Amino acid sequence: MKSILTAPQLAITIKRLAHQVLENHLGLSNTVIIGLQPRGVFLSDQIVAAIRQELPGQPVEYGKLDITFYRDDIRKELHIANRTDIPFSIENKTVILIDDVLYTGRTIRAALDALLDFGRPEKVELCVLIDRRFSRQYPIQPDYIGKSIDSIVSQKVKVYWQEKDGREEVAILD
């Protein structure tokens, strides 16, 4: 295991991502944030918390999207769905999708399909903690990147979250 982001580095990276979103969407007037279940929600919760600190008293429309049944690469197994919670309209709004690791692009493709069930956004942007640059199967690129890494197919990028794993860190497992 090789650590690529320690807990303090992770905290700084999350704060930077929140600031980048605010730079491009000052006030978030026509912007909604949607975290992807299950693991992207740990990141989106922290980014939204950082944004709310910067905009006290201002509403931030934040939802969570489960894409389990929209995936094209897990049809043979039985899967337990997570909860989708999008208590607002995404019609004609900018949607910022948040996920932890961008690898093949299949999760994001599924998320785009799932989003259409909730309306037609004006624009969709992607925010990821880790971009595994050279492993795409779909032409999907993030708008906000915590850290870009080059890794080989046999390696796995693991993001540890305090709420789930008892620590915060990003590591590459061989």
- The domain limits of the chain are 2-173
- Cα 106 to chain centroid distance, Å, stands at 13
Residue with tokens 């199967």: 137
- pLDDT of the residue at 151: 83
Q: Which of 27, 38, 36 is nearest to 61 (CA)?
A: 27
Flag the least confident range among 24-28, 77-81, 103-107, 135-139: 77-81
Cis peptide before 8 (omega within 30 of 0): no
2-173 folds as Rossmann fold (3.40.50)
Q: For the segment 106-162, what is each residue's pLDDT rounded down to a tens digit?
A: 999 999 999 999 999 999 999 999 999 888 999 999 999 999 998 888 899 999 999
pLDDT for residue 40: 95
pLDDT of residue 74: 59
Helix (H, G, I), strand (E, B) or coil at 37: coil
> Contact at 8 Å (CB) between 58 and 67?
no
pLDDT of residue 79: 57
